[in-house]
Structure 1
């Protein structure tokens, strides 16, 4: 019995090993398994050259003009993102991003309604009230027309989608 198991074990391992390498969806010989990048100018989902950001909160959509800086470039590479943002201080929503971004924080003096900024290297903050601040942020963008932004964001946690327009 031990001898039979000893002889069958290598065959069983080879069989299982070959099945593990089997693909359910083989790639035809004339096609590569690597996808060809699409042209960013013709594909809005991957168009990282755009400086327009779409921000969706529930049924409301806002547009913002992105800054031109390394932080924004790195942020756009992570888009689209749907994030559960937390309420803070009755004037902002924030979330920690999955990846850190380069930052160049400065004190803006006054935060404007619709400012989208980075606090530290990975905390994304969307402001829905104007106020003075002593904190430093890296500016990403500002909502072009923030009318209705505060109402859309509400006073509790909310899901927000950011994507290139």
Structure 2
């Protein structure tokens, strides 16, 4: 009986000790957890256009996550309508399209399931897009993109 009481007391103490530990202060037990945590926290994308660099913040949605998986990406974006540049991605991304009330300069969106669109002028639209993110500071964006096709690099910020 004494041994059973001692064993029970020891088990109770161990359970209480383990329950009071803060697992958030423990180091991750494998590399995969560290990589996943870092990937989740990084939603900043560096956009290089010639000598200019812009920072965009991606949304937390399946479309933006699939786009992040394609990065880094250097593409030749085509001019359209004097307000946007576009590029047809080699594969489809998940979509959640809606018709925005208006497009804002710096919006990064997906048209259909594979057309990446970077808007550099604000306007009203009746088209449907899946939102990816937005450039934080659009000063100099119009000048950097110019009037024709342009090479653009998208990469995650570290």
**TM-score normalised by the chain length of structure 2:** 0.75
Q: Which runs of 4+ in 1 moved over 2 A?
A: 39-42
Alpha-carbon distance between aligned partners in 2 of 1:48 and 1:93, rounded to the nearest angstrom: 27
Which residue of structure 1 lines up, in the alignment, with residue 60 of structure 2? 68
CA deviation string 1:121-142 (max 9, x = no partner): 0000000000000001000010
Alpha-carbon distance between aligned partners in 2 of 1:40 and 1:163, rounded to the nearest angstrom: 17
Instruction: Say which of 4, 28, 39 aligns to 1:48.
Output: 39
* Contact 1:53-1:66 at 8 Å conserved across structures: yes
Structure 1 SS opposite 2:39 = coil
Report the Cα offset of residue 48 of structure 1: 3.3
Alpha-carbon distance between aligned partners in 2 of 1:151 and 1:40, rounded to the nearest angstrom: 37
> Structure 2 stretches of 5 or more lacking a match?
1-30
Is 1:87 aligned to residue 79 of structure 2? yes
Which residue of structure 2 lines up, in the alignment, with residue 77 of structure 1? 69
Number of equivalences: 126
Which residue of structure 2 lines up, in the alignment, with residue 59 of structure 1? 51
> Structure 1 stretches of 5 or more lacking a match?
1-35
Call closer, same or farther: CA 1:41–1:74 in 2, change over 3 Å: closer
Question: When you count helix as a share of all residues, which structure comes out higher?
Answer: 2
* Contact 1:115-1:143 at 8 Å conserved across structures: yes
